[in-house]
Amino acid sequence: DQQVKQNSPSLSVQEGRISILNCDYTNSMFDYFLWYKKYPAEGPTFLISISSIKDKNEDGRFTVFLNKSAKHLSLHIVPSQPGDSAVYFCAASALNTGFQKLVFGTGTRLLVSP
Amino acid sequence: DVKVTQSSRYLVKRTGEKVFLECVQDMDHENMFWYRQDPGLGLRLIYFSYDVKMKEKGDIPEGYSVSREKKERFSLILESASTNQTSMYLCASRRGTEAFFGQGTRLTVV
User: What tens digit of pLDDT does each residue of B25-59 get?
Assistant: 998 998 999 999 998 898 999 999 988 989 999 99
Minimal Cα–Cα distance from A60 to chain B, Å? 18
- Interface check B70 vs A, CB under 8 A: no
- On chain A, the residues whose CB falls within 8 A of the CB of B102 are 43
3-state SS class at A83? helix
Please give the pLDDT value at position B97. Answer: 78
Give the H/E segment covering residue A13: strand A10-14
Please give the pLDDT value at position A97. Answer: 63
Q: Are the C-beta atoms of B48 and B31 separated by less than 8 Å?
A: yes
- Interface check A6 vs B, CB under 8 A: yes
Please give the pLDDT value at position B2. Answer: 67
Residues in chain B: 110
What does the pLDDT look like over A98-109, one tens digit per residue? 667 889 999 999
- On chain A, the residues whose CB falls within 8 A of the CB of B90 are 43-44
- Interface check A102 vs B, CB under 8 A: yes
Minimal Cα–Cα distance from B63 to chain A, Å? 20
- Interface check B57 vs A, CB under 8 A: no
Distance of CA B84 to the CA centre of its chain: 16
How many CB atoms neighbour CB A100 within 10 A?
Answer: 20
Please give the pLDDT value at position B90. Answer: 96
What does the pLDDT look like over A52-99, one tens digit per residue? 999 999 999 999 999 999 999 999 999 999 999 999 999 999 876 666
- On chain A, the residues whose CB falls within 8 A of the CB of B92 are 43, 102
Residue B106 has pLDDT above 70, yes or no: yes
What does the pLDDT look like over A16-37, one tens digit per residue? 999 999 999 999 999 999 999 9
Closest residue of B to A93, CA-based? Answer: B97
- Interface check B97 vs A, CB under 8 A: yes
- Interface check B11 vs A, CB under 8 A: no
Residues in chain A: 114
Identify any residues that bridge with A100 across adjacent strands, giving them in sequence order.
Answer: none
Please give the pLDDT value at position A101. Answer: 82
**CA B91 – CA A6 distance, rounded (Å):** 22
**CA B38 – CA A106 distance, rounded (Å):** 9
Please give the pLDDT value at position A94. Answer: 86
| Sequential DSSP letters for B55-90 | EEE-S--TTEEEEEEETTEEEEEESS--GGG-EEEE
Residue among B48, B98, B102 whose CB faces A46 most closely: B98
Sign of the alpha-carbon dihedral angle for B63, B18, B88, A65: positive
Instruction: Tell me whether residue B1 is exposed, middle or buried, using C-beta atoms within 10 angstroms of its C-beta: 0 to 12, 13 to 18, 19 or more.
Output: exposed
Residue among B58, B98, B100 whose CB faces A49 most closely: B98
Please give the pLDDT value at position A99. Answer: 66
Please give the pLDDT value at position A17. Answer: 97
Instruction: Tell me whether residue B28 is exposed, middle or buried, using C-beta atoms within 10 angstroms of its C-beta: 0 to 12, 13 to 18, 19 or more.
Output: exposed
What does the pLDDT look like over B64-97, one tens digit per residue? 999 999 999 999 999 999 999 999 999 999 877 7
Residue among A42, A46, A101 whose CB faces B103 most closely: A42
Q: Is the CB of B104 less than 8 angstroms away from the CB of A49?
A: no
